[in-house]
Structure 1
């Protein structure tokens, strides 16, 4: 718990630094995936607050455009996950219910199939609401060239003088880097 107390939210970078006048963009060299990955990781750390804000805004815009589908998609995914957990944790109960109540089981299967077909559109909208912001972030992090301030700030993160939410997420994904990179 003490480690979490040391976490600092990175500052919100200016729109000029993030997108406009001082921003420089270049297509990464796909033949050097290590350098490309280094650029992406460093940009994820440096612009993390901007990326979190971008993801929230994009998710909200999609949610405002399709609010019912977003809610239905979230509910469908939650129910599917809950059903999976329930069925895998108590298989004998499910088999017993099917044996004792065959008509109800068939009705439930048909209703679930209908609901699944109906909800596919909502699930797609919900997943798009999650995937689209992530795609925007990946494109920006891939194309945005680093500047001196970016490099110095990232060195502080690597040395461990400063812990940020994105640093913790990347560490959890096994993407921590050495101080010299």
Structure 2
């Protein structure tokens, strides 16, 4: 496994000229943009999440530990169920976004039983929201597209690639990349 490089700040968060509203009418295109940005900026996103996580963890260490433990266990359980239970596996393949929301809602419900909802919202959900907003609004560039094609065809493996694979996002991207390459070869 290889850790993706940290992208420069001026590439990660430049002026408004590199951001644009996603096409809400074309969910597949929007999903592709989000996945591409998640793959390309994964180390930057990890750094942002760690900073927010540490701030909230400093303010409420026990709640943050509990929240992190619950979310990790729910995620691991859902991945296991998605691999070993046919109905869940089919749902995860057809609705990967709903599957992720299901993990988040289940984590929220379990944390509400322990009184850790505010820690969950600020320490875990807020960084995910920031990442999703950035990945949705950030326009891709040539470097982004090339790096993602290398990741998609399996030339290198990164932590985000493993996570996307667990969420069944990689398989769709590889098929799209193969279709793209075949169409270019035919021209």
**TM-score band, normalised by the shorter chain?**
0.5 to 0.7
Instruction: Give the alignment's TM-score, normalised by structure 2.
Output: 0.64
Matches within 5 A, 1:64-103: 64-67=58-61, 69-71=63-65
Bigger RCO (CA 8 Å, 6+ sep): 1
Unaligned 5+ runs, structure 2: 75-110, 181-187
For the 8 Å contact 1:30–1:36, the answer to whether it is kept is: yes
Unaligned 5+ runs, structure 1: 1-6, 82-115
Task: Identify if the C-alpha distance between structure 1 residues 124 and 31 changes in structure 2 by more than 3 Å, giving closer, same or farther.
Answer: same
SS in 2 for 1:27: coil
For these two proteins, the number of residue pairs brought into alignment is 136
Matches within 5 A, 1:1-181: 7-21=1-15, 24-67=18-61, 69-71=63-65, 119-120=114-115, 123-128=116-121, 129-176=123-170, 177-178=173-174, 179-180=177-178
SS in 1 for 2:18: coil
Distance in 2, Cα, partners of 1:74 & 1:154: 29
SS in 2 for 1:37: helix
Instruction: Give the alignment's TM-score, normalised by structure 1.
Output: 0.66
C-alpha root-mean-square deviation of aligned residues, in Å?
A: 2.6
Greater gyration radius: 1
